[in-house]
């Protein structure tokens, strides 16, 4: 899922919460979700100092550490191992600084002998829930790239990560929309917008998740995503 997209460099030296604070006064998206959106996208973009600020801000706002960890795990699918490891390293530094020691929770899974079947089944179920009548079309297209790649997506991305129980599907799809906006990948963005709407997200929630990224992305990326959102609303 790679790393690309159009980043906007900070135009001043104000702390993240000062530059982003206006968005938290807007209605339409839970403040906790806004924090997770920033964390996931800053992890993706490798903005170390802003990510450190985002962690502190989220914890100060009583966002659960388990949810912060899940946002980083979710971002891993889009950012890759190096950026995810870097994000976790920064999180560990923040938690140590704050003297917060909390063991990460494990997924609720069956005995190891049945793990592969479990993850494949759970991944297929979620994949179908998100893509619905487009499922066969998407599967055929990806298998055309490489058949084993489709298996990895079902088992690893959807079965092991996106199906984890610690964030609901609605929140995860909102995060996916924000991450794909940051990556400027419209062909993948629109299906996940539909997935978010099918999972119960309101169009206003997706709009707010996109608009709050204006402090880290250039204007074109935001506008293109908002155009895609209008299309997604009419093609469920």
SS3 168: coil
Is the whole model's pTM more than 0.75, yes or no? yes
Q: Which long-range contacts (CB under 8 A, 24 or more apart) does 194-199 make?
A: 194/130, 194/232, 194/235, 194/236, 195/129, 195/130, 195/131, 196/170, 197/232, 197/233, 197/236, 198/129, 198/130, 198/132, 198/236, 199/129, 199/130, 199/168, 199/169, 199/170, 199/173
In the block, tokens 């600020």 appear at 53
Quote the DSSP letter at residue 25: T
Average pLDDT across each block of 10 residues of the chain; the chain has 236 residues. List them in order: 55 82 92 97 97 97 96 96 97 96 81 82 92 89 91 93 91 97 93 93 97 95 95 82
Quote the pLDDT of residue 106.
82
Name the residue among 65, 83, 67 with its Cα closest to residue 75. Answer: 83
Burial pattern 121-131, b for ≥16 Cβ within 10 A else e, equals: ebbbebbeebb
Give the chain's domains with CATH numbers.
16-105+166-233 (1.20.1290.10)
- Please give the structure tokens belonging to residue 223: 């506008």
Quote the pLDDT of residue 1.
46
Quote the pLDDT of residue 235.
76
d(CA 194, CA 201): 9
Strand residues in the chain grouped as ranges (E): none
Quote the pLDDT of residue 10.
55
């Amino acid at each position: 899922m790679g790393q690309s997209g159009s980043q906007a460099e900070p135009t001043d030296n104000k702390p993240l919460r000062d530059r982003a604070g206006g968005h938290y006064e807007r209605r339409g998206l839970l403040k906790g979700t806004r924090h997770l959106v920033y964390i996931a996208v800053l992890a993706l973009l490798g903005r170390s100092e802003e990510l450190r600020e985002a962690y502190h801000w989220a914890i100060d706002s009583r966002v659960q550490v388990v949810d912060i960890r899940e946002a980083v795990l979710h971002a891993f699918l889009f950012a890759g191992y190096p950026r995810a490891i870097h994000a976790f390293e920064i999180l560990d530094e923040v938690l140590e600084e704050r003297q917060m020691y909390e063991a990460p929770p494990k997924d609720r899974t069956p005995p190891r002998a049945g793990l592969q079947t479990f993850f494949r089944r759970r991944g297929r179920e979620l994949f179908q829930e998100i893509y619905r009548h487009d499922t066969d079309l998407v599967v055929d297209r990806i298998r055309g790239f490489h058949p084993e790649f489709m298996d990895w997506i079902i088992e690893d991305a959807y079965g092991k990560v996106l199906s984890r129980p610690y964030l609901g599907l609605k929140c995860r799809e909102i995060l996916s929309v924000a991450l794909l906006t940051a990556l400027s990948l419209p062909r993948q963005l629109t299906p996940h917008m539909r997935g978010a709407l099918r999972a119960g997200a309101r169009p206003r929630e997706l709009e707010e998740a996109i608009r709050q990224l204006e402090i880290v992305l250039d204007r074109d990326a935001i506008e293109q995503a908002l155009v895609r959102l209008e299309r997604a609303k009419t093609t469920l």
